[in-house]
Amino acid sequence: MRGRFWLLSAILVACAVAAGVWFITAPERFGSSKEAVSDTAGDVEHGKLVFAAGDCASCHASPGQSDRLRLGGGLALASPYGTFRAPNISTHRIDGIGNWTAQDLANALLRGVSPDGSHYYPVFPYASFTHMRPDDVRDLMAYLRTLPAVKGRPPNHELNPVFGIRRFVGFWKMLYFKPGPIAPDPAHDEKWNRGRYLSEALAHCVECHSSRDIFGGIKASTRYAGGPDPVGTGFYPNITAARLGDWSKAQLAAMLKTGITPNHGRVGSSMAGVVTNTAMLPESDREAIAAFVKSLPARPTPNP
């Protein structure tokens, strides 16, 4: 009898824990109907700039062809958790996001939640995109709708089985995901605030130029101070004053247009893709990014 009682209690406790886990890891969607993102009012020209600033093509353009507007996906993104594949986000109705509403896109970018209500993996840098203004999401959707439909779905992610359970991303979100807009800082001028918005909400510079802990969260003390790339074969440079101290704002803005650095030639690897995009922005936006980045406090480069 006693044995049965304990067994029953243990089962009940396990169920309660499981229900608790299920509850606290639940995906949260963006906004109420009041905050709904319009499907019709989007400004295509502005959406094109949002797309460039967000560096979307660097991950979602189909590899092996030169048209950065064919968003068929397929790029393999290696990580300690396995290999992710960027999905098809073209206007194809079945293989891409041709059937999505602007609100679906807002849920993906601002909350990391899919139309069917599951979590996205944070390799899709929504921890940064969450700071986007809903109007920018609306314009981005209007622009995405002008791009060609690309047929075909990339292969699935190949992840370590533990990480295959999307629901567990809810734990990651509890630890590291701070959804919502970034309030303008009145201590700085408009240009700096624009630069901060572009850098932190759209261009997600910090997602690469930082070190991560074992759960893949950015270590706060290393923000912008660089660190090993996800598979530890390369190193993202420190872009705080500790390394960029001798760059002028003008030199940094120029690099974001030409890729040419004041001290060692031309940036390569994934930064070359970033520059392809920042080069499309208005000069004033590159100057704004430079104003923000040059104001970052010097932080020591973490040891790899």
267: contact with ligand HEC by CB under 6 A? yes
| Spatial CB neighbours of 251, under 8 Å, sequence gap ≥ 6 | 261, 262
For residues 276-291, one letter each, b for 16 or more C-beta atoms within 10 angstroms of the residue's C-beta and e for the rest, the string is ebbeebeeebbbbbbb
Query: Of 46, 41, 43, which is closest to residue 281 (Cα–Cα)?
Result: 46
> Cα(75)–Cα(64) distance, rounded to whole angstroms?
9
Contact 259/163 with Cβ under 8 angstroms? Answer: no
Q: How far is the CB of 241 from ligand HEC (least distance, A)?
A: 12
Query: Of 84, 65, 83, 85, which is closest to residue 73 (Cα–Cα)?
Result: 85
Of the residues 31, 179, 228, 237, which one makes contact with ligand HEC according to CB under 6 A: 237
Contact 39/106 with Cβ under 8 angstroms? Answer: no
* Per-residue tokens: 1: 């009898």
216 alpha carbon, distance to own chain's centre = 13
Binding segment for ligand HEC (CB under 6 A), chosen from 170-178, 184-192, 214-222, 233-241, is: 233-241
- Please report, for residues 45, 95, 171, 217, the alpha-carbon distance to residue 282 in angstroms, rounded to integers and kept in the order given: 12, 33, 39, 32
Contact 112/104 with Cβ under 8 angstroms? Answer: no
72: contact with ligand HEC by CB under 6 A? no
Of the residues 42, 47, 87, 227, which one makes contact with ligand HEC according to CB under 6 A: 87
Residue located via tokens 């003390």 = 221
Residues 47-66 that bind ligand HEC (CB under 6 A): 54-56, 58-60
Q: How far is the CB of 187 from ligand HEC (least distance, A)?
A: 21
Q: How far is the CB of 173 from ligand HEC (least distance, A)?
A: 12
Contact 52/280 with Cβ under 8 angstroms? Answer: yes
121: contact with ligand HEC by CB under 6 A? yes
> Cα(4)–Cα(283) distance, rounded to whole angstroms?
73
Count of residues engaged in binding ligand HEC, rule: CB under 6 A: 47
Of the residues 42, 72, 74, 125, which one makes contact with ligand HEC according to CB under 6 A: 125
Of the residues 89, 127, 201, 225, which one makes contact with ligand HEC according to CB under 6 A: 89
Binding segment for ligand HEC (CB under 6 A), chosen from 17-25, 174-182, 189-197, 207-215, is: 207-215
In terms of CB distance, is 36 or 68 closer to ligand HEC? 68
In terms of CB distance, is 16 or 232 closer to ligand HEC? 232
Longest CA–CA span in the chain (Å) reads: 79
Q: How far is the CB of 19 from ligand HEC (least distance, A)?
A: 24
* Per-residue tokens: 152: 């075909």
Q: How far is the CB of 238 from ligand HEC (least distance, A)?
A: 7
Q: How far is the CB of 208 from ligand HEC (least distance, A)?
A: 3
239: contact with ligand HEC by CB under 6 A? yes
Of the residues 194, 293, 294, 299, which one makes contact with ligand HEC according to CB under 6 A: 293
Footprint of ligand HEC (CB under 6 A): 54-56, 58-60, 77, 84, 86-87, 89, 97, 105, 108, 114, 120-121, 123-125, 129, 140, 199, 203-205, 207-209, 236-237, 239, 243-244, 252, 255, 261, 264, 267-271, 274, 278, 289, 293
